[in-house]
Amino acid sequence: MLRKKILLIYTGGTVGMMQEKDGTLKLIDFANLKNELPEIEKLSCELHVHSFEQPLDSSNMMPQNWIELAILIEKNYYHFDGFVILHGSDTLSYTASALSFLLEYLHKPVILTGAQLSLGILRSDARENIIAAIEIASNPLYSLPEVCVYFGSKLYRGNRSTKISSESFNAFESPNYPTLVNVGVHMDFQLRHWLKANIANELKVHKKLCTDVAIFKYFPGAPLYWIESILLNPNIKGIVLETFGAGNLPNHLDFLKIIEKSIENGKILVNITQCLRGRVIQGRYETSKQLQKLGVISGHDMTTEAALTKLMFTLAQMDSIDAVKLIMQTDIRGELTQPY
């Protein structure tokens, strides 16, 4: 059986740093990665490495960098069997979600991983995360046709993942969707939860995102002038509303008038819950029924990261408001659970 070819892409972040004896951190020489991570010689794949010329802290990762990654994968797509992206953990779920939308008809694994501690630190999680991600991407029997996140012995669907801890090695979770692979003594491939590859179509890479978007997280007592500054901002085309519980906001008349005017001005308002788990069910309570009547659309059980990047993607692709609303409520990459 031929060994699979994997492209390891380093974008920046803690995972690619080594700690010197004096405690300072330095960037690994990825051209000689085996010197720092000799275990990779035991992997049954052909590994190639590409590093960003200017590695980025994940806090500096922007939409243009997501597009840069998508284009890099497009250029190398037919030369490799899978891709592992090393990325800072703070915005890793945003990047994974964005890539899931930019890479349409994906047939190969794209796995993002990172670390809480640098590779050179004795108890670092970087070693296990890197090796396991490469192992999954190069598995000789199964080829995972989606963008994923590997962290803390679990592989998650990328657009279902979110970072839940700044300290634990189990830093990520997939609140509303099962894990795709559980890693222990053996690798437990949960094939029934994987996306099905659309083999009838070739990879299509989208290269546009609309950044005229915002996240509005309501809190009790939020002043109207602050609400207006976001919902009525003329430069914003789409807004992710983070609401209470199953999609509830106050039914105060002044507040509802602002929402109504925002929608009349052509803005897309997407309702997702502030809760880690669960979904928006507009109309369950009177406080969400009013939102539904005004034209706020449900984001169902999407994460904030998925809802925001999908809104960026959809606004850039669709010409009409109705088309954007339809796609935002439709599962296109496994990012939401379609209601019965």
Q: What is the pLDDT of residue 195?
A: 95
Domain 213-328 class? Answer: alpha beta
d(CA 145, CA 311) in angstroms, rounded, equals 22
DSSP annotation of 244: B
- Per domain, the residue ranges of the chain are 4-205, 213-328
Q: What's the half-sphere exposure (Cβ side, CA atoms, 13 Å) at 222?
A: 19
What pLDDT does 340 receive? 60
Listed residue (327, 252, 328, 261) closest to 294, CA to CA? 261
Burial (Cβ within 10 Å: 0-12, 13-18, ≥19) of residue 312: buried
Residue 149's pLDDT is what? 98
Planar angle of CA 238, 244, 246, nearest 5 degrees: 90
Region for residue 278 given its phi and psi (left: phi exceeds 0; alpha: psi -120 to 50; beta: otherwise): left
CATH architecture of the domain with residue range 4-205: 3-Layer(aba) Sandwich (3.40)
211 is catalytic: no
Domains 4-205 and 213-328 belong to one CATH topology: yes
Model pLDDT, residue 199: 84
| pLDDT recorded at residue 1 | 61
Out of 14, 95, 162, 273, which one is annotated catalytic?
14
**Res 26: pLDDT:** 66
Q: Residue 22's pLDDT is what?
A: 65
Alpha carbon 20 to chain centroid distance?
A: 32
pLDDT for res 194: 96
Residues of the chain with pLDDT under 50: none
